[in-house]
Structure 1
């Protein structure tokens, strides 16, 4: 094959044949030329480089390519324009009726390859025609990243002859002439950018994300239909260059419509950022005073402090400092659950509104909410239409500048928003060997990543988080970690992982030093450039002052276990009697949903005996229908939260909240008494953080019996005839490792009722429950826990992407397994698979209804055109569903319990499980047997098995 030099595009190289197509679906019988789509994508990549990428990410990429930013951007635009050149093959073009008689040869033989794979196979052998060294890493990685633009990376092509292109199936001179003509047309349009001196694997992965985004933006039907009206007159270099320039002018409007404009905040002091805080506390003051001098580039900040100590506001301010230091205005806040993400989204939006006052409202950007149920949240995705949410301000309606756009609510796109809040899973998916992980890495790389409740990860998730931190360290992405109860070894592992990424790949210095003792309360800063770790105690020997708190009284209360089930009845009567007589608010935290429902029944029966003087009783757990759970959560926060106390909504005659672990994190609750089943000590401390939470604000009037914050821990009574620890119910062991229950029990027994000083005792308690060997009353349980942790980390290693060093010259390992695996089995949490169940009601006549009163029919079809289910239809149905953990019951279900055929056309409805509830003529609802268990949706208790 003849080779071309960079001047070929200007010396009369063959014109590109515009009959070759790239897009035809949805184009009303027309096709869109491949050359035009190629140049659209190149133009989009160049506009994204200049107007979307953060300055810091541009600098990181250009530095890795060992060139300046302008040249790096044009190189990437050139590559992006070649992403679909694999469509210039007979096997692709003949998919529709196109006259290919002028282009003989290259008939398909053997298994068909994707056009993306064809791109990756062809490019490394021809980039030399525009000046790329034939054996240089840049050519091979550029080809591989473009071959992976559909989300999966292929191996580098191998050929064993002097004619590798012929061997790989590119055998026709006429086809080859056209491929090279398109290559040179794109090369000319993008300014003939010479080959970069360097390209490494991690940078190539991020660039792939940029190419995917550019491709998706210009593949929208509306954009293509509009461009069909002004196609080039011919395929000459000059005509195509004109098309490219027009595309550059049009692409910025696509960014606006998609909500991809950056959200930026000006520099501000802590006081200006949070005018509602009269005086920053010790933690906030320490960070505001000492961190700016340390934030000279990328790094990680770990903040550890008790519950309710203003860590969230501190994290916002630290993210602003790190973002300014690294040129990364983007933000991603990672939360442990969907409920906490929903709450943080509202809170973060208020902060964004305050900090961005005076910005251009004509160029709005979405502040995304990222989890599987985000589309149900009316604050994020209003019921009217995406992108037109309004907020009430100064007596007038104004467009919400952070409203969701339809484009960003599409699958896998949310992390592309400038600011986003979501579950930690959204970030961890970036390091699973799954399709489009490069797009997620790209979405995170230009942001400051904040991980709240960093302690709330099991060993499986911890390994994923460590790998994510390594990659973020390599990509110069700053990170903030927050925790109230983080074991020092986990803190050390997370900081070390970040520095390994920064050091191990770019600078290859010595092993990161172990993190010294974690300051509690306090913070540390790990510098990605130098590897130096600075603790708050290193810059200020005076301990950080915290909000004055009464010591937490902790009492162990033994309860009997009868037939394997805990009996809390006597203990709860004794502990809650003062509340019944003197008012006040208490919580009872149970280990499982079933036990919380039983306790609710127990207390409801007891309270009923008191008639009109009974306390309020509330129940909160995960097995309520989504809409009802949201309403209960809002009610509970309204009653027991800070605002409820300020506005006189706190129950004065007494109230009890029965709940599961869902109240441990991020709920603003203040209880006079906390009663909890025993759990690992770190979780007990989290629950205790909801006891007297706002004592320093003097907004809560305590009952006379509540003399101090108190945590009552229910634990199985000791068998008088048996040695060793008590026998914990199997239901508790299914939730928490038996070893940690035993160790926590031994630790609290040893303290013998000694109050817990907060913050002084928190870190030692969290550390001792793991580290103090004298607490190990059952060696077998300890060994089982450690074996389980090792097994989970091993499974995580199989799912996680390789270290950055392992993809230095090939991206194949990012999406490839050494064994067969179903990608859908990849998960960010171990054993957390669930399905959504919709309980519907069947009356005596056999008619099906959505509600217990049989007033809303179960729809056979949607309200949209042709019976299609609209977004509003889906929202109403999914809001009535309950998440249920997968198990053997699911495999036993017959087809009768699956979604109806008409529902399966909707992405949101296709996987629902439908469980009927029989309604008698008297109005009684009977449980249904399905999958080997009985199901009953109780209006007060939620789904009961």
Structure 2
């Protein structure tokens, strides 16, 4: 049977408007499927014209039409036509019968017409054959199967290609001639006509099909909003009859732009500017900034990747923003995504990026606001991003106070799940970007969002081997899609740099990268930068500059190794701390003590507090910062220390040691202070860690000395970092097998071979200070590459190295099982983007291996059994039920709860049946934010004392000063 004979309907067959496409939440009404399909087609066309970046629009047009003379109008209409077909699979008896009261007497069930198949899969299966009636399949590569498959993915997962028998293709898929077939063909013809019959595309590569699916999903989501559907129903209420399809489509084209405005999806654009114009507060750009501003414009005509390597505090953020402006202008991508290593650093960068956007962004037309989104799991708790007052859809309010205008404020629509990357500019954790490289639901939507932007990855070194594979695959895809990238790092090994640059370049269209091809990066200039062009030409700053790029002058860093006894698996730091902090106690100043584990930091605070208690008025202030504080308290502590020790601390008179502030200040912290926090400390004391991380931490020592605004006490005569290393205890005259070994907590966090190599390297240097930047790159490279270090460390370092390399290889292998395929390996099939080739547990589908966590909520139980959020059991009752009219929880209630939650590692007890006392209230099951929380009830005694919670063989006590204390 010929394809043209597979359908029972006559050309021009009318689509039955009683067959519905939307009915949930419509107050008993049903919205015709044809209208929803036309709405989606209209939305896709508006998105093509008004939302897609010029660069992405040009790339897609070149992929779908003649690359030598791309037809953007035809490409846009083609994609809009496809979008209008996404829900065609709802034209089955099994789907239509889900709504009560639908008269299906004229539509008997088909033999297998959609039974037990999701409607998105039905759309894909039917269209794989039906598109041939419109001329598809006449070329040497039939695009119909790929078009059909991309539409099958509009709910987030692609369906497999169906097996089609040539003799009777539709029957082989369970479709039979009759009323249903007539309706499907009628809808196909109607949407085709509405888009002016765009015809078959000249080609459809799989990578472009992937991101087109993201566009279809966005179009569908926009016009599926209840308010829009009800408004369209009201348009026809009381009219003489339903509008013609052409009239409905035209009306939707007029209405959809308002949806973009309400959602905050308008682009943020910046006009071309020099570095000085972009950053007028920088009187004289430093050597790195000057070099980029001078040479990059001539290199970035086709986009590409820029890698910046420079010390901490060298203005890499400003350099990156300027590079992104140049790359974005060259490639027609006004969007931005800034990826940071942690939620705390993303929160800080959000404020900085917003200041930059306010200063640089071109004014938006009235009524067409844009959102600058903050993306991480707790972003909606940030009052700067989402004000405390309730936001409504299309309301644009300032985070600085009710009623004041904020041109980049969040909208309710973009606060919804999986939508933040669709904002024009956004900043968030690197995990949000890495999820676009996972075989996960809605991967295509995340790739679509990133493809509109210049992607900036800060702290590119802060990835483990598992995350590095994800980052490499993401860079590979960004290269294939023509997305410009900026990578920033202060301590990047040259081999890692080579892997990242090679991943990007090998994704760019062109010849396949061969193993025999030379490495694109063999060494790094420090400080310096390089540009990798899609043509695979790598240009380094060393080739363009007559000599080394001058860096901010810094005092050499004195590094001192200090032995601490290790007893019973825990380092005893107090003796070293008393000796090294004596000057601070007498004269003031500020110091940080960085511990490897939360338990170590809590024990250290206890020891210091005991010492300080006997010092009277001389006692320094003492603070603790780690990840196991309630979210609200951790944020407050972070703001306090950055306020005191950031650039503005001296100006505000907050820095210890200044007149009126004679007391010292000691911050005890974990690794949370080593990345992107703007702190200037007189002294840093830290547990040993791999050398790259020690250098990162050292970046908080004398960070702002060059500004000339910091007054230091006499004891702080030079920047100094004291590195604590284990030594054998001799006080008891006995030898313990554990003494002198690296504590188990340290070994669990860092590979012991790197700890040993770092210790050997620092011992070899002796009293030689570390010059920054001159010594940094060599230290970072040599800790891995210098084989002579083995002679300076224990005999078992070789075995430790083998264990480390084996663990890294295992992590890379696991990561390769969860990443999306390379574009060249997809062929004509999208299934690998959202489906595993092997059976993997869900917990492996994460961007950080082994970092699965659960959020716990410490609540308090009074003597009557009442549950409270506050320790006093009187101010904040635990919200057991929602206060909204529909019974849901208000944003105020959600914030009150989530602000008190704490992330902890998922342990053996998690995933099992929780004891009743640790389960959340039943009503929380309906809340996305609350349903997975674990309660840790603390019983409050009549005298006000608090009993710890018990769970999983541990006691859990929320200490007001130390955070969550966990003990076996």
TM over 0.5: yes
Aligned to 1:699: 709
Shift in Å, 1:928? 2.5
**1:874 equivalent in structure 2:** 894
Q: What is the distance in 2 between the residues matched to 1:503 and 1:235? A: 55
CA offset digits 1:791-823 (Å, max 9, x no partner): 000110111111111113110111111233454
1:831 aligns with 2:825: no
What are the ranges of 5 or more consecutive residues in structure 2 without an aligned counterpart?
A: 658-662
Which 10-residue stretch deviates more, 638-647 or 855-864? 855-864
Query: What is residue 417 of structure 1 aligned with on the other side?
Result: 423
Counterparts in 2 of 1:177 and 1:759: CA distance versus 1, 3 Å: same
Cα distance change of structure 1 residues 361 and 693 upon mapping to structure 2, 3 Å threshold: farther
Please say if 1:781 is aligned against 2:800.
yes
Distance 1:235 1:369, change over 3 A: farther
Instruction: Determine the structure 2 residue equivalent to 1:66.
Output: 65
Is the counterpart of residue 402 in structure 1 residue 416 in structure 2? no
Superposition deviation, residue 397 in structure 1: 6.1
Please tell me whether residue 484 in structure 1 is matched to residue 484 in structure 2: no
Matches within 5 A, 1:444-843: 444-503=450-509, 511=517, 513-528=519-534, 530-652=535-657, 653-717=663-727, 726-776=740-790, 777=793, 778-823=797-842, 825-843=844-862
Alignment of 1:198-237 (within 5 A): 198-231=203-236
Corresponding residue of 2:78: 75
Q: Deviations over 1:239-268 (max 9, x none)?
A: 101111111011000000000000001001
* Partner in structure 1 of residue 923 of structure 2: 902
Give secondary structure in 2 for the equivalent of 1:137: coil
| Superposition CA RMSD, Å | 2.4
Give the CA deviation at 1:615.
Answer: 0.9
Residue 829 (structure 1) shift = 0.4
Alignment coverage as a number of residue pairs: 940
Q: Deviations over 1:396-436 (max 9, x none)?
A: 96410110000011001110000000101111111111111
* Residue of structure 2 equivalent to 1:148: 153
- In 2, Cα distance between the equivalents of 1:684 and 1:824? 31
Q: Distance in 2 between matches of 1:891 and 1:156?
A: 35
Distance 1:502 1:783 in 2: 35
What corresponds to 1:119 in structure 2? 123
**1:431 is matched with which residue: 420, 434, 437?**
437
Alpha-carbon spacing, 1:607–1:723, altered in 2? closer, same or farther (3 Å): closer
Q: Which stretch of the first structure deviates more once superposed, 356-365 or 545-554?
A: 356-365
Deviation digits for residues 610-636 of structure 1, max 9, x if unmatched?
Answer: 112211111111111010111111111
Query: 1:161 Cα shift?
Result: 4.6
SS at structure 1 position matched to 2:282: coil
Change (3 A) 1:36 1:823: farther
| Correspondent of 2:96 among 72, 90, 93 | 93
Q: Is residue 266 from structure 1 mapped to residue 277 from structure 2 by the alignment?
A: no
Q: Which runs of no fewer than 5 residues in structure 1 stay unpaired? A: none
Q: Cα–Cα, structure 1 residues 723 and 500, in superposed 2: closer, same or farther, change >3 Å?
A: farther
Equivalence for 1:132 = 136
The answer on whether the counterparts of 1:232 and 1:243 sit within 8 Å (CA) in structure 2 is: no
Matched, 1:863 2:867: no
Query: Partners of 2:543 and 2:624 in 1: how far apart?
Result: 46
Please tell me whether the aligned partners of residues 15 and 237 of structure 1 are also in contact (alpha carbons under 8 angstroms): no
Map 1:240-255 onto structure 2 (within 5 A). Answer: 240-255=245-260
CA–CA distance in structure 2, aligned partners of residues 701 and 515 of structure 1? 42
Tell me how far apart the structure 1 counterparts of residues 957 and 736 of structure 2 sit (CA, whole Å): 40
Indicate if the aligned counterparts of 1:434 and 1:815 stay in contact, CA closer than 8 A: yes
Q: CA distance change for structure 1 residues 722 and 784 in 2, over 3 Å: closer, same or farther? A: farther
Q: Is 2:65–2:202's contact at 8 Å kept on the other side of the alignment?
A: yes
Q: Whole-Å Cα distance in 2 between the matches of residues 136 and 237 of structure 1? A: 40
- Give the match for residue 940 of structure 1: 961
Q: In structure 1, how many angstroms separate the alpha carbons of the residues matched to 2:911 and 2:108?
A: 53
Q: 1:396 to 1:540 in 2, by over 3 A?
A: same
- Number of the residue aligned with 1:38: 37
Q: Deviations over 1:72-91 (max 9, x none)?
A: 10100010011111111222
Q: C-alpha displacement at 1:164, in angstroms?
A: 1.3
Measured against aligned partners, the alpha-carbon deviations of 1:916-938 in whole angstroms (never above 9, x if no partner) come to 11222211112232210011110
1:496–1:512: 8 Å Cα contact kept in structure 2?
A: no
8 A contact 1:556–1:748 mirrored in 2: yes
Say if 2:292 is the partner of 1:287.
yes
Asked whether the 8 Å contact 2:372–2:426 carries over to 1, the reply is yes
- Counterpart of 2:660 in structure 1 is none
Cα drift, residue 843 of structure 1: 2.5
Aligned partners of 2:237 and 2:59: how far apart in 1?
36
Partner Cα distance (2:736, 2:860) in 1: 50
TM-score of the superposed pair, with normalisation by structure 1: 0.96
Find the aligned partners of 1:578 and 1:509 in 2 and give their Cα distance: 57
- CA shift in 2, pair 1:70/1:234, >3 Å: farther
Q: Offset at 1:237? A: 12
Q: In structure 1, what is the Cα distance between the partners aligned to 2:27 and 2:241?
A: 26
Take 1:935 and 1:637, find their aligned partners in 2: how far apart are those partners? 29
Does the aligned pair in 2 maintain the 1:232–1:240 contact within 8 Å?
no
Does the CA contact (< 8 Å) of 1:455 and 1:486 recur in 2?
Answer: yes
Instruction: Provide the C-alpha distance between the structure 1 equivalents of 2:527 and 2:807, rounded to a whole number of angstroms.
Output: 31
Paired residue for 2:872? Answer: 853
User: Which segment is superposed worse, 224-233 or 364-373?
Assistant: 224-233
| Of 893-902 and 833-842, the range deviating more from structure 2 | 893-902
Greater shift, 397-406 or 482-491, is seen at 397-406
- Tell me if structure 2 keeps the 8 A contact 1:428–1:464: yes
**Matches of 1:473 and 1:846 in 2, distance apart?**
59
Q: 1:667-695: CA deviations, max 9, x gaps?
A: 11100000000000001001100000000
For each residue in 1:147-205, what CA deviation from the matched residue of structure 2 results, as whole angstroms up to 9, or x when unmatched?
11111111111123511101111113322121111111111100110111110100000
Distance in 2 between residues matched to 1:509 and 1:772, nearest whole Å: 25
SS at match of 2:29: coil
How far apart are residue 231 of structure 1 and its match? 4.3
Residue 871 and residue 796 in structure 1: after superposition, are their counterparts in 2 closer, same or farther (change >3 A)? Answer: same
Structure 1 position 504, deviation (Å):
5.6
Deviation at 1:826, TM superposition (A): 0.9
Pair 1:886-2:900 in alignment: no
Task: Quote the offset at 1:719 in angstroms.
Answer: 7.9
Deviations 1:431-470 (A, max 9, x none): 1111110000000001000000000000000000000000
1:563-609 Cα offsets, whole Å, 9 max, x none, are 11101111000000111011111000000011101111111111110
